[in-house]
């Protein structure tokens, strides 16, 4: 009886040790990342036909440049008018309108630039 217990206890310990060793060795296997796929090159469009997105960006850019030029012109005109008038005595309605137009144009440029 004693030998049978010793034998079964030894088998139990051996089995437990083998199971633990197997699970530890499995947990230490490094994860190998999958091989990256070669990047697909974008299909090049013919040089004569710009994409709609590119055309839209170019149109926005042209529009912004026009508005900035107009803004510069208005600001210059406003400065010359302010230099001519004495704003401490009289506030010209033309000055106020020009300032509002500059503000509106600057707001449009800001919104167009954001997209």
DSSP assigned state of 48 = T
Spatial distance between the Cα atoms of 16 and 3, rounded to a whole number of angstroms: 20
Digit-coded pLDDT (tens) for 64-95 = 999 999 999 999 998 898 888 876 777 778 88
Digit-coded pLDDT (tens) for 91-115 = 778 888 999 999 999 999 888 888 6
Question: 3 is written with which tokens?
Answer: 């030998």
Model pTM score: 0.51
In the chain, where the domains are located:
50-114
Half-sphere exposure of 93 (CA within 13 A, CB side): 0
How does DSSP assign 16-42, residue by residue? HHHHHHHHHHHHTSPPPPPPPPPPPPP
**Please, are residues 105 and 70 in contact by the beta-carbon 8 Å criterion?**
yes
């Amino acid at each position: 009886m004693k030998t049978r217990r010793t034998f079964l206890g030894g088998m139990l310990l051996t089995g437990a040790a083998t199971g633990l060793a197997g699970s530890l060795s499995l947990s230490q296997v490094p994860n190998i990342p999958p091989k990256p796929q070669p990047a697909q090159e974008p299909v090049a469009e013919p040089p004569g036909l710009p994409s709609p997105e590119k055309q839209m960006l170019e149109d926005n850019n042209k529009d912004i440049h026009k508005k900035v030029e107009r803004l510069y012109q208005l600001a210059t005109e406003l400065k010359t008018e302010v230099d001519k008038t004495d704003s401490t005595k009289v506030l010209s309605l033309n000055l106020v309108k020009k300032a509002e137009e500059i503000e509106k144009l600057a707001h449009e440029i800001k919104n167009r630039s954001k997209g």
